[in-house]
């Protein structure tokens, strides 16, 4: 079991070439106006929102929000909906002359995708499971074969059929009963992350009468094949906080509440150990975790704490035989691995080291097999997978090809195996599944995503550099570019992306759609700024709470260094971030707007102070240890000093594309809506500001395999158009 941070959607996007007019070189210290006739081709007028003063007072400080009226939790207010519709009309009119280019780019990006594609099958309880796509279908088909892959195919779930009639559809997941006979799956057709759980008898193909509504989407089977555990959500805050036990054949009204989380700063998740002997409720707080467990053979028993929940203590675990292996930060900032008997988990003095704490190595994950232990470590930002023989203690590092890459554990459901499946990718290598032999380290490539067309990885190069931030910190940056389009002379456009919150590390992975940027001369820069755990736990702590501003200044310092080193032109820098990365965009353009030609902020978390003061908004109280609690004056003052919405000023801003979904449950639509309205009122430039609102989607944008590329095509073309790139 590994700790799960609820991480907002992170968008890895791409960009174009650049064109500077003949004659005098533009001033490289100011934001340049659009260098195409975009604004000339549209006579549309940007919507102007009405102002209604809403006064907010706390700690002796007064803030006035003229656009607070835009919030409507029911999402039915005609004036609010009318304004969003007007924004969409303006966006369409402003970008209308690029629609053919958008369509062509959409075709270009989706044309690289292998239409008829299947995942690598994995074996569990005597069946081989896999999912597949066919043709233009937006959603996968899930199937299995008994015994061997030569057996008859059994399609047990077709997400395309489930999605019929819905503008949005999300499959939360599925679980088979332990006897392989009953399927439980969850789905959401409203994009609010409120999932319904349903059940299917796989022998008859008929649906059971049982239906569980208002859930988190997780469902865990007990070993009796008739009992499941699930989490109900608060429909207002959307926090999953009540764990119920359901018996097949009974009404949801009769389900038994087995756990209720009363502390609103915790997230609640469910899980089951790989040996299927223990069911757990995971209690996840920003700086402390815990778990309550039961014997999966005794579903009617009471949950008991694995270990007491303690401040600043985070742990997760896996089970092998009669022992638990515990990944913990107890007296180990970068985590250590310990081992304890199943009957002594509550006594930390009984825990013994398997991997002792190390100051310079971050232990991020592990996987235990009957014969081997596999560690996922990071040192100086570089991933390492280390295999240790349980009997002899002999260790070896698994081999990888690229200098900058991402590697993580793939699907490995069974402990009785000498094979390890690894998901591997780099900025130049498509997503791959390798199977390693744990005894000798040899490997077999099981699958690599096909990139259709004339893609040749040898045409591209990647680098890892370190940028010195203003306080002396060394910030890693992963770069990729097309060799024949790049010259290190300060002329290329740069697409700079980052996230920088929750300890989430954006690894350098391949993106087929990104080729549309690289092939047009862009350098893609992934800035591993503070707030992630790229350089270990301390890197995260240096980018949260009272250190949050380091996240923003790191991004700015990376921008300056990239141009100083000749990776790109000072007037051709484009910045992109989503969710908490949208907060990053908002802070950066307030602090250094002159650096960026264009910015895309997707579902941006920009009204930090107001949101964090409102416990009724989803995901607020859980995150006090990430951002601070503004009910305390110190945090309020610090948060207000960088909150993008509160710090808009009368100045020039870059060209901007802002996106949101009306049904977003993580960053409510009214945050970017208000932000755009206030920016329109304050900004002193004539640069573009367009706001694209998906009236059907939530935080993750459009659902489906292909639809999301329409949004990406809009973003890319928005940037391309600013540079005069027409195709």
Please state the φ and ψ torsions of residue 561, each to the nearest 5 degrees. Answer: -70, -40
Pairing of strands 278-284, 267-272: antiparallel
Average pLDDT on 333-351 reads: 97
Q: Which DSSP string corresponds to 468-506? A: E-TTS-EEEEEEEEEGGG--TTT-S-EEEE----TT---
Query: Each residue of 449-502: pLDDT tens digit?
Result: 999 999 999 999 999 999 999 999 999 999 999 999 999 999 999 999 999 999
Query: Helix %, strand %, coil % for the chain, to 5?
Result: 20, 35, 45
pLDDT on residue 697: 67
Q: Is the pLDDT of residue 4 over 50?
A: no
Stated pTM of the model: 0.89
3-class DSSP state of 447: strand
Query: Each residue of 169-222: pLDDT tens digit?
Result: 889 999 999 999 999 999 998 777 899 999 999 999 999 999 999 999 999 999
Give dist(CA 601, CA 576) in Å, integer: 6
Q: Which residues lie below 8 Å from residue 488, measured CB to CB, with a gap of 6+?
A: 565, 566, 567
Give dist(CA 636, CA 398) in Å, integer: 47
Percent of the chain residues topping a pLDDT of 70 = 93
In the numeric block, which tokens belong to residue 551? 């996240």
283 counts as catalytic:
no
- What is the rounded end-to-end Cα distance, in angstroms, of the chain? 47
CB 141 within 8 A of CB 126: no
CB atoms within 10 A of CB 724: 17
Burial 224-235 (b: 16+ CB within 10 A, else e): beebbbbbbbee
Whose CA is closest to 600, among 149, 58, 239, 91?
A: 91
Active-site residue, selected from the candidate residues 664, 692, 703, 721: 664
Average pLDDT on 156-164 reads: 93
Task: Return the H-helix or E-strand segment holding 329.
Answer: none
CB 554 within 8 A of CB 474: no
Its sign, for the CA torsion 336, 339, 342, 343, is negative
Which parts of 390-534 fold into alpha helices (H)?
515-518
pLDDT on residue 236: 77
Give dist(CA 174, CA 655) in Å, integer: 43
CA 361 vs. chain centroid, Å, equals 24
Query: Each residue of 582-636: pLDDT tens digit?
Result: 999 999 999 999 999 999 999 999 999 999 999 888 768 778 999 999 999 999 9
699 counts as catalytic:
yes
* Number of residues that make up the chain: 727
Give dist(CA 269, CA 297) in Å, integer: 20
579 counts as catalytic:
yes
Give dist(CA 451, CA 14) in Å, integer: 16
Where is pLDDT greater, at 32 or 575? Answer: 575
Query: Each residue of 118-146: pLDDT tens digit?
Result: 999 999 999 999 999 998 888 999 999 99
Query: Each residue of 664-689: pLDDT tens digit?
Result: 878 999 999 999 999 999 999 999 99
Give dist(CA 168, CA 150) in Å, integer: 35
pLDDT on residue 30: 30
CA 686 vs. chain centroid, Å, equals 33
CB atoms within 10 A of CB 151: 12
Q: Look at the block and give the residue holding tokens 């054949």.
A: 249
Give dist(CA 240, CA 232) in Å, integer: 6
6 falls in which pLDDT band (50, 70, 90)?
very low
CB 423 within 8 A of CB 407: yes
Give dist(CA 308, CA 290) in Å, integer: 7
Give dist(CA 704, CA 698) in Å, integer: 13
pLDDT on residue 386: 98
Give dist(CA 483, CA 4) in Å, integer: 38
3-class DSSP state of 165: coil
Give dist(CA 693, CA 661) in Å, integer: 6
Give the CB-side neighbour count of residue 288, counting CA atoms within 13 A.
11
Whose CA is closest to 707, among 139, 95, 90?
A: 139
CB 672 within 8 A of CB 686: no
Give the CB-side neighbour count of residue 391, counting CA atoms within 13 A.
4
3-class DSSP state of 45: coil
Active-site residue, selected from the candidate residues 516, 699, 703, 721: 699
Pairing of strands 655-661, 689-694: parallel
Give the CB-side neighbour count of residue 523, counting CA atoms within 13 A.
29
What's the chain's average pLDDT?
92
> Which CATH number among 2.130.10.120, 2.120.10.30, 1.10.240.10, 2.30.31.70 corresponds to the domain 166-313?
2.130.10.120
Q: Is the pLDDT of residue 286 over 90?
A: no
Q: Which residues lie below 8 Å from residue 628, measured CB to CB, with a gap of 6+?
A: 545, 546, 612, 634, 635, 638, 639
Give dist(CA 636, CA 612) in Å, integer: 9
In the numeric block, which tokens belong to residue 221? 């089977």
Q: Which residues lie below 8 Å from residue 40, measured CB to CB, with a gap of 6+?
A: none
CB 109 within 8 A of CB 65: no
Query: Each residue of 379-438: pLDDT tens digit?
Result: 999 999 999 999 999 999 999 999 889 999 999 999 999 999 999 999 999 999 999 999
pLDDT on residue 42: 63
Give dist(CA 716, CA 203) in Å, integer: 48
Q: Which CATH code fits 80-110+455-722?
A: 3.40.50.1820
Query: Each residue of 495-545: pLDDT tens digit?
Result: 999 999 999 999 999 999 999 999 999 999 999 999 999 999 999 999 999
pLDDT on residue 247: 98
Pairing of strands 240-247, 256-260: antiparallel
* CA max distance for the chain: 80
3-class DSSP state of 195: strand
Give dist(CA 361, CA 505) in Å, integer: 15
Whose CA is closest to 266, among 245, 277, 250, 282?
A: 282
Pairing of strands 474-482, 523-527: antiparallel
Q: Is residue 456 exposed (0-12), middle (13-18) or buried (19+ Cβ within 10 Å)?
A: exposed
CB 531 within 8 A of CB 537: no
Cα–Cα separations (whole angstroms), residue 444 to 402, 441, 532: 16, 10, 32
Give dist(CA 197, CA 173) in Å, integer: 9
Active-site residue, selected from the candidate residues 511, 513, 561, 579: 579
174-178 own/partner pairs: CB under 8 Å, 24+ apart: 174/142, 175/219, 175/220, 175/221, 176/124, 176/125, 176/221, 177/221, 177/225, 178/125, 178/221, 178/223, 178/225, 178/276
Query: Each residue of 17-71: pLDDT tens digit?
Result: 222 222 222 232 333 333 333 434 467 899 999 999 999 999 999 999 999 999 9
Q: Where are the domains of the chain?
A: 80-110+455-722, 166-313, 360-450
703 falls in which pLDDT band (50, 70, 90)?
low
pLDDT on residue 700: 56
């Amino acid at each position: 079991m590994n700790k799960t941070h609820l991480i907002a959607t992170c968008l890895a996007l791409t960009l174009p070439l650049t064109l500077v007019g003949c004659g005098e070189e533009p001033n490289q210290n100011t934001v340049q106006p659009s260098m195409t006739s975009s604004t000339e081709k549209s006579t549309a007028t940007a919507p102007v929102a009405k102002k209604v003063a809403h006064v907010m007072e706390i700690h002796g400080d007064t803030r006035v929000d003229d656009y607070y009226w835009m919030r409507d939790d029911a999402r039915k207010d005609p004036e609010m909906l009318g304004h969003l519709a007007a924004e969409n009309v303006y966006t369409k009119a402003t970008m209308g002359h690029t629609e053919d280019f958008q369509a062509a780019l959409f075709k270009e990006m989706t044309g690289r995708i292998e239409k008829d594609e299947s995942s690598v099958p994995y074996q569990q309880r005597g069946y081989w499971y896999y999912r597949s796509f066919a043709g233009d279908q937006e959603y996968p088909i899930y199937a299995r074969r008994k015994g061997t892959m030569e057996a008859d195919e059994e399609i047990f779930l077709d997400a395309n059929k489930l999605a019929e009639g819905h503008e949005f559809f999300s499959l939360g997941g599925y679980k088979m009963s332990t006897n392989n006979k009953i399927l439980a799956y969850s789905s959401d057709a409203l994009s609010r992350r409120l999932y319904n759980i349903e059940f299917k008898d796989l022998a008859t193909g008929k649906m059971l009468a049982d239906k569980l509504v208002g859930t988190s989407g997780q469902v865990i089977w007990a070993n009796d094949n008739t009992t499941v555990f699930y989490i109900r959500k608060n429909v207002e805050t959307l926090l999953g906080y009540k764990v119920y036990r359901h018996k097949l054949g009974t009404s949801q009204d009769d389900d038994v509440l087995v756990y209720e989380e009363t502390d609103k700063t915790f997230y609640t998740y469910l899980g089951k150990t790989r040996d299927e002997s223990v069911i757990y409720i995971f209690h996840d707080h920003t700086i402390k975790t815990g778990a309550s467990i039961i014997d999966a053979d005794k579903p009617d028993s009471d949950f008991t704490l694995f270990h007491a929940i303690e401040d600043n203590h985070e742990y997760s675990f896996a089970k092998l035989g009669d022992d638990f292996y515990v990944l913990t930060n107890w007296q180990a900032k970068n985590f250590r691995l310990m081992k304890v008997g199943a009957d002594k988990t509550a006594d930390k003095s009984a825990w013994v080291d398997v991997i002792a704490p190390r100051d310079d190595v971050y232990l991020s994950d592990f996987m235990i097999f009957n014969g081997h232990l596999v560690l996922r470590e990071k040192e100086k930002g570089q991933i390492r997978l280390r295999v240790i023989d349980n009997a002899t203690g002999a260790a070896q590092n698994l081999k990888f090809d690229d200098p900058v890459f991402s590697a993580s554990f793939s699907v490995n459901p069974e402990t009785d195996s000498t094979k390890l499946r690894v998901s591997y990718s780099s900025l130049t290598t498509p997503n791959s599944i390798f199977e390693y032999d744990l005894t000798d380290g040899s490997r077999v490539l099981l699958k690599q995503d096909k990139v259709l067309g004339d893609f040749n990885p040898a045409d591209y190069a990647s680098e890892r550099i370190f940028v010195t931030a203003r306080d002396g910190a060394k910030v890693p940056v992963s770069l990729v570019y097309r060799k024949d389009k790049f010259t290190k002379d300060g002329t290329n456009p740069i697409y700079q992306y980052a996230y920088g919150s929750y300890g989430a590390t954006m690894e350098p992975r391949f993106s087929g759609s990104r080729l549309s940027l690289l092939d047009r001369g862009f350098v893609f820069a992934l800035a591993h700024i503070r707030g992630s755990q790229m350089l270990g736990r301390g890197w995260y702590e240096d980018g949260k709470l009272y250190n949050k501003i380091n996240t923003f200044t790191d991004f700015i310092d990376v921008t300056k260094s990239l141009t100083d080193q000749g990776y790109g032109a000072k007037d051709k820098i484009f910045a992109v971030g989503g969710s908490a990365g949208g907060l990053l965009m908002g802070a950066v353009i307030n602090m250094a707007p002159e650096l960026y030609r264009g910015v895309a902020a997707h579902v941006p978390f920009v009204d930090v102070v107001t949101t964090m003061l409102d416990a009724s908004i989803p995901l607020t109280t859980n995150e006090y240890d990430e951002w601070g609690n503004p009910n305390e004056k110190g945090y309020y003052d610090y948060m207000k000093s960088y909150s993008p919405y509160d710090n808009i000023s009368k100045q020039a801003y870059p060209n901007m594309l802002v996106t949101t979904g009306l049904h977003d449950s993580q960053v409510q639509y009214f945050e970017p809506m208000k932000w755009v309205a206030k920016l329109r009122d304050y900004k002193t430039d004539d640069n573009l500001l367009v706001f694209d609102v998906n009236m059907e989607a939530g935080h993750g944008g459009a659902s489906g395999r292909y639809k999301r590329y329409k949004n990406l095509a809009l973003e890319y073309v928005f940037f391309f158009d600013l540079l005069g790139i027409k195709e």
